[in-house]
Structure 1
Amino acid sequence: MTTTPTTPAKGPVLVASDLDRTLIYSRAALALTMPDAVAPRLLCVEIYEGKPLSYMTETAASLLPEVAARTVFVPTTTRTRKQYQRIQLPCPPPKFAICANGGHVLVDGVSDPDWHRGVTRRLADECASLAEVRSHLVSAADPSWLRKERVAEDLFAYLVVEREQLPEGWLKELSEWTEPRGWTVSLQGRKIYAVPKPLTKSAAMREVADRSGAQLTLAAGDSLLDADLLLAADHGWQPGHGELADSGWSAPNVTALTERGVAAGEEILRRFLEPGPKVAA
């Protein structure tokens, strides 16, 4: 495992961070295992249907504006644009954001049409169709544990399931079916994602790095859909929970943290500040 880089970059530093279960956390993912009297104060950063949904610690909320001021901070998420726009991060609106697992690069909140057209052309050329994969997902799922099925931005599909009721081996069988068709599968909380392999956060991150002139790239993420992002960055961090931690995944440029839950989000923001990057141009 490599250590965190300590030499300040000569140009802007880009920070591409996953959001859910990396920087922000639902109630189920908070992992507040300490006594109630010493639990951290929380800030709600997302409301859904009139109810609080996602949180950061107040300490994390105080660190994020510093990260955003000193770097090119790029929220990097599998969420759709609409889902991302529900989040109210405690920092100025980032100039760049990556949504739909790299399918959309937002510039000042607006999807770049040239980038999106290029992505859709590549998916059409290299993968089985979304219609085929969606049809298989729905037919293979059992109504007893399937709660919802959705298509995200006409790019990928996912199921919302009762996770504890998933039959043993079902996910493995699904992965074996999607693999030769150019798709990958990821289980995150109660959601099972089927995503085309060329649809990556790393490609979008490299695009933003080119546009911003970034000389150093830092990243964080917890799921298999974040692996390519972490590998593409100069240095990355993964929390002590999630698909990557559970599978024993590792890479020379990625530091595996011991913190779990919302405490990991706080620690990741501290690590982003360690290299001492200059203020972004």
Structure 2
Amino acid sequence: MQSFNYRHLYYFWVAAREGGMARAADRLGVAVQTVSTQIRELEQNLGTALFKPAGRALALTDAGQIAAARADQIFQLGEALPDLLRDAASQPALRLVVGITDELPKLVVHRLMHNVLAEPRLRLLCRQGSIDDLLADLALHRLDLVLTDRAVAPNPNLRIYSHPLGASEIAWYASAAHAAQAQRDFPQSLAKVPVLLPAPQAAVRMPLDLWFEREAVQPRIVGEFADSALLKTFGANGMGVFPAAEIVHDELVARYQVRQIGRCRGVSERFYAITAEKRVAHPLVQKMLVS
């Protein structure tokens, strides 16, 4: 079968909707012979008749009914295209460039941004890195904001501002390989089972170390991770028990198939948005800060 011509299909579609070739010719402003020629060439390319005699008029064949239904979809979409393009031009994409520190839990990032993700015009760009590198990009206005686990100290050379986004208590999680043993005599059990911890530069690490001291526990540390997602991945695969923000408990259990073995009383992880201006102009950043 040859590739058919969409002009031929369009003439057929108009004839099918108007109920005949004469009416189609009037609608299109062409001769009846032109319409019939276009449709005949379409039938030849498709290898089947699309119209059949019905008294003095014409009716669609079974193949014609199928073709007409498909043509409806094609040309109705085509007729709507100019309006769609006008709407797109009048409502340009909202570009949001976010820097995310390595230590910030990625499930928490999604939670912090949930109220802007429904924006239909959103074009989101995420960059991950160290806090120093991200703040440098923020100062140069390469980022709209930075999401991190700590407030940034005032710096006379950088006009940056810390906005608290909330906090979450920390709990301990384990895969099936360690859950039962870790739950027995918790938290003293953390001296016996393998333990994974955030790297020393993470804001939550010092509160965790102080918690171990208060509980008189010498943890059996087998791994430290700067990237929170790696920590959870290794923990979920049985390398050791690990701490995580309880705010994402449901997502954590569903995604990583782990169990909560106990809470880390008195230890919380805090979350901040860092911006380069005190009065934020970006509408999506404003929306995040007031959520």
Q: Identify whether the pair has TM-score above 0.5, normalized to the shorter chain.
A: no
Question: Could you tell me the TM-score, scaled by structure 2's length?
Answer: 0.18
Taking CA–CA contacts closer than 8 Å with sequence separation of 6 or more, which of the two structures ends up with the larger relative contact order? 1
